[in-house]
Amino acid sequence: GSGEDGQLGIGNSEEKDWVCSVSALEGQGVCGVVAGSRNSLAICDDGR
């Protein structure tokens, strides 16, 4: 997806055509991820 505004959450504005790891979420118990054309969201199992 387009990372033009940093919406991929990977620390830069590069465009990616594949799944990328978000280091800030490592070990956080992510239980869901949603991605749109202009944003992305992850939810952790503790509600954060």
Rounded to whole angstroms, the Cα distance separating 43 from 33 reads 6
> What's the confidence (pLDDT) of residue 45?
96
Residue type, 34: V
30: which strand partners?
44
pLDDT at 7: 61
Query: How many structural domains are present in the chain?
Result: 1
Decide if 20 contacts 32 (C-beta within 8 A).
no
Q: Which domain holds residue 22?
A: 1-48
pLDDT at 43: 96
The pLDDT score that the predictor gives to residue 3 is: 64
- Give me the pLDDT at residue 6, please: 60
Query: Tens of pLDDT along 1-48?
Result: 566 666 666 777 777 776 777 888 999 999 999 877 777 789 999 999
- Sign of the torsion formed by the C-alpha atoms of 42, 36, 16 and 7: negative
Q: Output the pLDDT for position 24.
A: 85
48 CA to centre of own chain = 14
